[in-house]
């Protein structure tokens, strides 16, 4: 399937969020590598020598940050992709939190299974483990991922429902309000949404939740820019 043109664009996002935002480390205290290692050790226990796969459904699709030996489109059943984790740092602030994606219960999710090159499993996984787990928003599981070439067991990051970042199943309009307003020191929350929808479209993955949100966020950002223009003209 050919990619569809998005309503949301990088030009619109950058115009709406032209001012940089300073980092506030107190907004989200992240775990150190020393704190992360016991969890990594537990998740890899007994898997030495096995192929190491990671299932990507959000930013890992367009920014994996680990070497990739093979990639396959795949499907996880029992979980669906959803913006359900609040982001009070990085792409949001405590006053205007954004959202990031997680897998939540029910349904299915199409994404990408990445196989890492043969290496020490802990060394191979530590970069992605640090990235996904340091903010305590996810729990990690090995899940079966069905691909055209067969089913693989892949490390998958699910929503941590016990963490205060978990927002549950909010209406798309409410999620769009927060994404449109949020920006942190690594950029706008809307950019995360844009790049994820863009990646899905390029892969032929049609996700109604993401597609609805990109249109809603584009509307809100356009309204924000129009309001600014009216203020300038009025002033």
Residue 171 · residue 188 · CB < 8 Å? no
HSE-CB at 205 with a 13 A cutoff on CA atoms is: 23
pTM of the model: 0.95
- Percentage of residues in the chain with pLDDT exceeding 70? 100
pLDDT digits (tens, 9 = 90+) for 189-208: 999 999 999 999 999 999 99
> CATH assignment of 10-234, given 3.10.490.10, 3.40.1800.10, 3.40.309.10, 3.40.630.10?
3.10.490.10
Helix (H, G, I), strand (E, B) or coil at 108: strand
Token pair listed for 121: 């499993």
Annotated active-site residue 132? The verdict is yes
Residue 139 · residue 104 · CB < 8 Å? no
Question: Which position has the token pair 């405590």?
Answer: 94
- CA–CA separation, 163 vs 70, rounded Å? 33
Q: Which of 42, 48, 70, 132 is catalytic?
A: 132
Please state the φ and ψ torsions of residue 202, each to the nearest 5 degrees: -65, -30
Domains of the chain, residue spans: 10-234
Residue 235: pLDDT band (50, 70, 90) is low
pLDDT digits (tens, 9 = 90+) for 88-99: 999 999 999 999
Residues 6 or more apart in contact with residue 207 via CB below 8 angstroms:
81, 110, 197, 200
pLDDT digits (tens, 9 = 90+) for 158-172: 999 999 999 999 999
Segment (H or E) for 138: strand 138-147
Radius of gyration of the chain (CA): 18
Q: Residue 18's CB: how many other CB atoms inside 10 A?
A: 10
Dump strand ranges (E) for 67-216: 70-87, 98-115, 138-147, 150-159, 183-184, 187-188
pLDDT digits (tens, 9 = 90+) for 70-120: 999 999 999 999 999 999 999 999 999 999 999 999 999 999 999 998 877
- CA–CA separation, 42 vs 141, rounded Å? 11
- CA–CA separation, 170 vs 152, rounded Å? 32
Q: Give the N- to C-terminal CA distance of the chain in Å, as an integer.
A: 48
- CA–CA separation, 209 vs 10, rounded Å? 19
Question: What sign for the dihedral angle of Cα 15, 175, 173, 94?
Answer: negative
């Amino acid at each position: 399937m050919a990619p569809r043109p998005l309503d949301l664009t990088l030009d619109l996002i950058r115009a709406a969020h032209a001012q940089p935002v300073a980092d506030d480390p107190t907004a989200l205290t992240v775990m150190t590598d020393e704190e992360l290692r016991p969890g990594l050790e537990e998740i890899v226990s007994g898997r030495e020598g096995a192929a190491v796969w990671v299932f990507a459904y959000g930013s890992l699709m367009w920014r994996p940050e680990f070497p990739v030996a093979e990639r396959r489109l795949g499907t996880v059943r029992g979980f669906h992709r959803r913006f359900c984790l609040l982001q009070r740092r990085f792409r949001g602030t405590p006053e205007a939190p954004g959202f990031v994606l997680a897998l939540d219960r029910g349904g299915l999710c199409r994404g990408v299974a990445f196989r890492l090159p043969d290496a020490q499993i802990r060394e191979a996984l530590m970069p992605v483990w640090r990235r996904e787990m340091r903010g305590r928003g996810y729990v990690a599981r090995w899940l079966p991922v069905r691909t055209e070439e067969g089913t693989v067991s892949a490390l998958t990051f699910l929503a941590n429902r016990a963490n205060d970042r978990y927002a549950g199943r909010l209406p798309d309009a409410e999620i769009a309000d927060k994404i449109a307003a949020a920006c942190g020191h690594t950029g706008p929350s809307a950019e995360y949404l844009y790049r994820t929808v863009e990646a899905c479209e390029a892969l032929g993955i049609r996700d109604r939740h993401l597609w609805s949100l990109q249109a809603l966020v584009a509307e809100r950002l356009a309204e924000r820019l129009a309001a600014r223009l009216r203020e300038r003209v009025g002033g």
